[in-house]
Amino acid sequence: MRSKVVTMEEALSKFKDGQTIMFGDWHGEFSAEEIITGMLEKGVKDIHAIAVSGGMPDQGVGRLIHAHRVKSLATTHIAYNPSARDQMFAGELDIEFVPQGTFAERIRCGGYGLGGCLTPTGLGTDVAVGKQVLNINGKDYLLELPMHADIALIKAWKADTAGNIAFRLMSRATNSYMAYAADTVIVEVEELVEVGELGPDDVDVVAPLIDMVYVRQGEKKPFCPMWQRARAKAEGGKK
């Protein structure tokens, strides 16, 4: 079976200016940090990003936003990234805010080849501006169109050489469904195992959906850095 394990250089060869890229992190908590570092060093710019949040200035897609490499962002909020807020108000970053459930469903539609989804969420708000409203059985719904990307950059705990991947606890977050909705899926993993070492119940995304597996070279990332920082702060206050 062909190995999908690649070098950093091979992974970075897929990234070009102006692409639409999904980032499967959660405020940068579950992000492919080494590949994002590579993107910064390569100078990739004018990115049309799709991410559940604007990340943080020092984590995940937030690093690319902070470096002014992102042209537009479809997201659910930007609360943890002042750089995104400042660029939005300065007219430097075009942001589309999407309700979180709608965000997930639009990506699912993009991955499953559907024409869109109908939802009452956002009716009568700025979310509805410019969108088609359909009345079905006397109730209005917004037609929300699918999201699809050139690349989905996701992070997993383990992968086998064929490309089957496994997440750890909450880290599946948006990583799982973004793997269905891009032309090329690149995954950064903490651990690599041989085919057969991941059992059927361990696999969260199957190999045919994954194009490249990059094995993280640095220290393993904490499971949830933001949670760990909050816990350390709380424990420090008790002393």
Give pLDDT tens digits for 90-121. 999 999 999 999 999 999 999 999 999 999 99
Q: How much of the chain exceeds pLDDT 70, in percent?
A: 91
Q: Where are the domains of the chain?
A: 5-238
Residue 39 has pLDDT above 80, yes or no: yes
What is the pLDDT averaged over residues 130-142?
A: 96
Structure tokens at 108: 């699912």
Q: Is the pLDDT score of 226 beyond 90?
A: no
How many CB atoms within 10 Å of residue 32? 27
| Band of pLDDT at residue 27, cut at 50, 70 and 90 | confident
In the chain, the DSSP E strands lie at: 5-6, 20-23, 47-51, 70-75, 94-97, 117-119, 133-136, 139-144, 149-160, 165-166, 182-193, 212-215
Closest CA to 213 of 70, 1, 17: 1
Tell which residue, 128, 114, 119, has the closest CA to residue 177.
114
Q: Is the pTM of this model over 0.85?
A: yes
Q: Identify residue 217 by its one-letter amino acid code.
A: Q
153 pLDDT band, cuts 50/70/90, is very high
Which residues, in sequence order, are CB contacts of 88 under 8 Å at separation 6+?
78, 95
Give the mean pLDDT of 183-194.
96
Architecture field, domain 5-238: 3-Layer(aba) Sandwich (3.40)
Task: Give the closest residue to 38 by CA, choosing from 2, 6, 76.
Answer: 6
- Is 80 exceeded by the pLDDT of residue 81? yes
- The pLDDT value recorded for residue 233 is 64
Cβ of 130: how many Cβ atoms within 10 Å? 6
Q: Is residue 228's pLDDT more than 60?
A: no
* Phi and psi at residue 233, to the nearest 5°: -65, -40
